[in-house]
Amino acid sequence: DGGITQSPKYLFRKEGQNVTLSCEQNLNHDAMYWYRQDPGQGLRLIYYSQIVNDFQKGDIAEGYSVSREKKESFPLTVTSAQKNPTAFYLCASSTRGRPQHFGDGTRLSIL
Amino acid sequence: AQSVTQPDIHITVSEGASLELRCNYSYGATPYLFWYVQSPGQGLQLLLKYFSGDTLVQGIKGFEAEFKRSQSSFNLRKPSVHWSDAAEYFCAVGDTNFGNEKLTFGTGTRLTIIP
């Protein structure tokens, strides 16, 4: 079955450490997205990519970086510059004219 | 800039009772509108969408929503809730200039079902 796979489901980061969250889709979707979810704040867009080798900042891109070297993959790196990284991270994908389809998320915590 | 307001943070409904979750949006033109549902620790699942046409849209799991341009609203309804409907519900608006590439989400409404 087609879908979006996010890994790992739980991730722990030490202070000053970069961590990378994986997002892979086999839906042949062109666009991919990363959202951050905090309690009571809904989802906020971090980065999105409409085609390979191109991506745009969302509303809260500071302290994050992404790459889009393959259509299927859109990894998110949470850098040490992100001072409050504890959150639930959701990856989504879509194709033109169709709603976004979401993965099951990665919960990031600070040790 | 577009925005979405879900005025109810938490709603409690008895099983079998009717449900209405409120959503108001701010957008300059006719937007794309969505309702998603999220179970704890899971991703979001699309319930229904409005792009154009009939203002009453049917979705999965017996949900429906009505687009009211005059009230800038897109409220979600279900005539009889089931215990499995307990979850968090998010309304979202999409910028029609970008298709659905740029979604703005509301802060969500948590639904509790009591026996």
Helix (H) or strand (E) holding A106: strand A106-110
Query: Cβ distance B16 to B71 under 8 Å?
Result: no
* pLDDT, average across residues A47-60: 94
Q: Answer whether residue A44 shows pLDDT above 90.
A: yes
The residue-averaged pLDDT of B50-71 equals 94
Q: How far apart are the first and last CA of chain A?
A: 36
**Closest chain B C-alpha to A87 CA, distance in angstroms:** 11
B30 band by pLDDT with thresholds 50, 70 and 90 = confident
CA distances from A106 to A5, A102, B18, B92 (A): 10, 12, 34, 21
Of the listed ranges A27-36, B25-34, B98-107, the one predicted with least confidence: B98-107
Tokens of A106: 């990665």
What is the rounded distance in angstroms from the CA atom of residue A22 to the CA atom of residue A17?
Answer: 16
pLDDT at B89 over 60: yes
Q: How many CB pairs under 8 A join A and B?
A: 52
Coil, helix or strand at residue A18: coil
**Please, which residues have CB within 8 angstroms of residue B36's CB and are 6 or more apart in sequence?**
A102, B44, B45, B46, B47, B89, B90, B92
Collect all residues of chain A within an 8 Å Cβ-Cβ radius of residue B102: 45, 48
**pLDDT of B98 above 70:** no
How far apart (Å, rounded) are the C-alpha atoms in residues A29 and B82?
33
DSSP B62: G
Q: According to the model, what pLDDT value does residue B97 have?
A: 66
B43, B102, B103 member nearest A105 (Cβ): B43
